[in-house]
Amino acid sequence: MNILAIESSCDETSAAVLVNGHILSNVIATQLIHEQYGGVVPELASRAHQQHILPVVERALADANLPKNELSAIAFTRGPGLLGSLLVGTSFAKSLALGLNIPLIEVNHMQAHVLAHFIETPKPTFPFLCLTVSGGHTQIVRVDGPLDMTVMGQTVDDAVGEAFDKSAKLVGLPYPGGPLIDKYAKEGNPLAFKFPMSDVPNLDFSFSGIKTAVMYFLRDNTKSNPAFITQNLADICASIQYTLIQMLLTKLKRAVRETGIHEIAIAGGVSANSGLRTTLTQIGNEQGWNVYIPRFEYCTDNAAMIAMAASFKYEQGDFTAQTVSPLPRMSM
């Protein structure tokens, strides 16, 4: 089972090679052009994918020391994601699979984030709960098998990654601001300032309110002290991060109570946040959970997770026709 996987859902072009369940290469090209615009520009992302995809795939095959004529299948991200970006990866994968006369495997990007936990040991046992947190999604997922997942709760507006980035922009930090909030939060007091925590029904989330609260908080305090943000940047970042993490973990605790499942994982770009990783580990120790946190390399968008998800579909003979097209709003 030699699978070449391609990931192009947003602003990272990635290719990985999996051989018999083991990742031999995982190459990622990040697009820096979006920083000057304060966010991902879809058209620019599509153009960058076109520039990067061939050299990234060639590098992945070379790193794995695997010639393309020995591939068993081509896997690709069908969705969710930006339509133009998905089109580049989908079209490339379809063409390569057709040229090599080998199967094509479509992968759901969010399912792949969950299955990134099976790239390395230790691996969670089924069933487990996975908190998937990224710039576009926030979900609590019950995982009963590699291809058997149920979304128990999700955001009704902004994703938590958006809340980090938008709050960072309000305090004057450049894009992407989430990692910078994490950086400054390490030096601040998480209880210095109090922000409201939304409480929507069931296991769903809402993060639009904290963005508004931060905006008014900064407006009111900078009126009386124009240097307020500069003087209190670490404490502001720590307080924002603390609030967002508490909102996530409050719902996760509820999901544990409702299901009785104590195998807990996190996935997605925001799972790289050091505050979230540390707090989840602490709560896991207190509650008797088995907590699984992926390496940073497998938190952000990458093709290794696409390859791992595809390996489960390959084993079941779950292949895709050449008529396939991207699904920007693909559901889990």
Annotated binding site for substrate: 132-136, 165, 178, 182, 273
Looking at residue 315, its amino acid is E
As annotated, the binding site for Fe cation includes: 109, 113, 301
Task: Give the Cα separation of 297 and 23 in Å (integer).
Answer: 12
As annotated, the binding site includes: 109, 113, 132-136, 165, 178, 182, 273, 301
CA angle 77–119–75, rounded 5-degree value: 25
Task: Give the Cα separation of 111 and 248 in Å (integer).
Answer: 19
8 A C-beta contact, residue 327 and residue 80: yes
Tokens, residue 88: 């580049």
8 A C-beta contact, residue 189 and residue 238: yes
Residue with tokens 């926030």: 138
The four Cα atoms 33, 34, 37, 40 give a dihedral, to 10 degrees, of 150
Task: Give the Cα separation of 110 and 12 in Å (integer).
Answer: 15
Tokens, residue 237: 């970042």
